[in-house]
């Protein structure tokens, strides 16, 4: 059964369009676009609601229609939450006129989208974007109003999709909310196009990818670079908002001869960075199921990091996990010093993505959820 689904994803325009002027570094946006393209290829009508960056309302990227809701920073202080933010969102949802609406990551939009859907008798799906979405205290949300809206949307969503079994358990324990686990996906290159071998001789390249924010802890990458001058560190990413913290990271990186800052790189141009790297380094405090892990593994690159979603890194020998800088340094050193171990982790990583995170399997799982909701609540 063909359905129409609308993704409410304010920051997804840059991923959809490839326009680097409207960049937002976030795996949630990448995952939504991957799933959306897969659903569209299967015959479903797909639309997105994004911020207004001056694009034409209803513009098309492939077979995905993009509607705009409001301009970043628009409106008067104290009033902009109602207009243009809420009115712009409601107007775009009305124009989308979808059978089902989907919103990912916790925030005030979770409740706003849910309220609109309940009023107009449309099913609403919420997708977990990070482990922090499952924390009962919701400390990542700035004020009580945001927390209220998020709890409302989570409680009344027609379906909730988690990324991991851990998230599923925490949602039930903290919110009494059931959910279905659908793994994140990654289109995998054919094995003939992936060289499961270390890059050419020279200083080993360590790749770090993310936004410059305290949650991602890019300063840990810089500290490791200072400790390991024999390694070359490539940092891909930027801050989504200008801040003294982000500027301090950039300034410190500029003073390290073995660190190269590449800024924001569009998703479809990341392949060469993974191919040239020996390892992906992750220093985050929190993650969901990191998109960067799937990207690295699809190129046969092991991960050394501070998070291990559902324990798969250690259980499947896909890299190394540590809690502090000393442990990360040891993980990097152990994998780089043992070619046999690196090759085993490289091959295990590539095949793990194929077996557990294929785009086809993820899209099929989404279609199952959509079909059930569409049958219950035809628009």
If one counts every other C-beta atom within 10 angstroms of the C-beta of residue 100, the result is: 24
Percent of residues, the chain, with pLDDT higher than 90: 79
Q: What confidence category does residue 194 fall into, taking pLDDT thresholds of 50, 70 and 90?
A: low
| pLDDT for the residue numbered 376 | 57
| pLDDT for the residue numbered 200 | 63
If one counts every other C-beta atom within 10 angstroms of the C-beta of residue 349, the result is: 26
pLDDT for 374 beyond 70: no
- The predicted model gives 160-174 an average pLDDT of 97
Q: Which class is 191-356 in CATH?
A: alpha beta
Q: Enumerate the CATH 3.40.50.2000 domain ranges in the chain, comma separated.
A: 4-185+358-376, 191-356
Residue 67 tokens read as: 């509607």
pLDDT for 115 beyond 70: yes
Predicted model pTM: 0.91
Q: The domain 4-185+358-376 belongs to what CATH superfamily?
A: Glycogen Phosphorylase B; (3.40.50.2000)
Beta partners for residue 319, in sequence order: 303
């Amino acid at each position: 059964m063909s359905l129409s689904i609308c993704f409410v994803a304010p920051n997804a325009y840059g991923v959809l369009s490839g326009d680097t002027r409207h960049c937002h570094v976030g795996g949630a946006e990448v995952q939504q676009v991957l799933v959306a393209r897969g659903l569209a290829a299967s015959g479903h009508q797909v639309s997105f609601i994004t911020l207004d960056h001056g694009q034409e309302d209803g513009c098309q990227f492939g077979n995905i229609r993009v509607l705009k809701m409001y301009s970043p920073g628009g409106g008067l202080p104290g009033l902009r939450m109602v207009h243009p933010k809420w009115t712009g969102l409601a107007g775009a949802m009305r124009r989308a006129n979808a059978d089902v609406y989907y919103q990912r990551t916790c925030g005030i939009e979770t409740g706003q989208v849910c309220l609109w859907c309940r009023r107009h008798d449309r099913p609403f799906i919420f997708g977990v974007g990070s482990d922090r979405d499952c924390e009962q205290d919701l400390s990542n949300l700035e004020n009580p109003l945001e927390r209220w809206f998020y709890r409302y949307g989570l409680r009344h969503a027609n379906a909730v999709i988690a990324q991991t079994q851990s998230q599923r358990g925490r949602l039930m324990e903290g919110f009494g909310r059931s959910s279905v686990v659908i793994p994140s996906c990654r289109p995998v290159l054919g094995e003939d196009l992936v060289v499961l071998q270390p890059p050419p001789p020279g200083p080993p390249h360590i790749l770090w990818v993310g936004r410059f924010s305290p949650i991602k802890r890019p300063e840990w990458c810089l500290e490791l670079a200072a400790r390991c001058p024999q390694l070359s560190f490539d940092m891909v990413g930027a801050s989504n908002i200008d801040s003294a913290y982000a500027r301090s990271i950039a300034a410190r990186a500029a003073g390290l001869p073995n660190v190269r800052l590449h800024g924001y790189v569009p998703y479809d141009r990341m392949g060469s960075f993974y191919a040239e790297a020996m390892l992906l380094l992750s220093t985050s405090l929190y993650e969901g199921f990191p998109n960067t892990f799937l990207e690295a593994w699809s190129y046969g690159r092991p991960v050394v990091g501070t998070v291990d979603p559902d324990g798969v890194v250690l259980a499947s020998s896909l890299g190394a996990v540590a809690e502090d800088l000393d442990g990360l340094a040891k993980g990097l050193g152990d994998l780089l010093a043992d070619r046999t171990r690196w090759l085993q982790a490289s091959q295990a990583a590539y095949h793990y993505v194929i077996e557990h995170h294929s785009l086809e399997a993820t899209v099929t799982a989404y279609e199952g959820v959509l079909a059930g909701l569409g049958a219950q609540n035809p628009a």
